[in-house]
Structure formats: structure tokens, C-alpha cells
């Protein structure tokens, strides 16, 4: 009985650990994408700011 409970607890732990590992990987990828997008917007803002300054003369 105790061995069975121990086995079930280990399986539950492995399952939860795998779920959390997958979630961490997904979130890391989403963070990478968000940083890339923010950098793209920053570059676009810098370019438009330069264009605006050149038009102001």
C-alpha cells in the first residue's frame, strides 16, 4: 500500500514537473518574441524620429 502511494506520488511529481518545464519553455519563447518585437518598434521609432527631425530642418 505505501509502495503504491509512493509510486503514485512520484508519477504525479514527474507529471507536474514536465508540465511546468513545458510551460517555462513556452513562456521563454514568448518572452524572446516580445523582446524582438519591442526592438523592432524601437528601431522604427528611431527611424521616424530621424525623419521628423530632418523634415523640421
Q: What is the pLDDT of residues 2-54, one digit of tens each?
A: 788 999 999 999 999 999 999 999 999 999 999 999 999 999 999 999 999 99
d(C-alpha 50, C-alpha 53), whole Å:
5
The pLDDT assigned to 30 comes to 98
pTM value? 0.68
For 19-51, b/e burial (b = at least 16 CB within 10 A) is eeeeeeeeeeeeeeeeeeeeeeeeeeeeeeeee
pLDDT at 28: 98
Could you write out the three-class secondary structure of 2-54?
HHHHHHHHHHHHHHHHHHHHHHHHHHHHHHHHHHHHHHHHHHHHHHHHHHHHH
Look at residue 35 in the predicted model and tell me its pLDDT. 99
Q: Give me the residue spans of the domains in the chain.
A: 1-57
Amino acid at each position: 500500500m505505501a509502495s503504491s502511494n509512493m509510486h503514485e506520488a512520484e508519477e504525479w511529481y514527474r507529471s507536474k514537473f514536465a508540465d511546468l518545464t513545458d510551460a517555462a519553455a513556452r513562456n521563454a519563447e514568448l518572452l524572446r518574441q516580445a523582446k524582438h518585437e519591442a526592438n523592432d518598434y524601437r528601431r522604427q521609432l528611431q527611424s521616424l524620429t530621424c525623419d521628423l527631425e530632418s523634415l523640421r530642418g
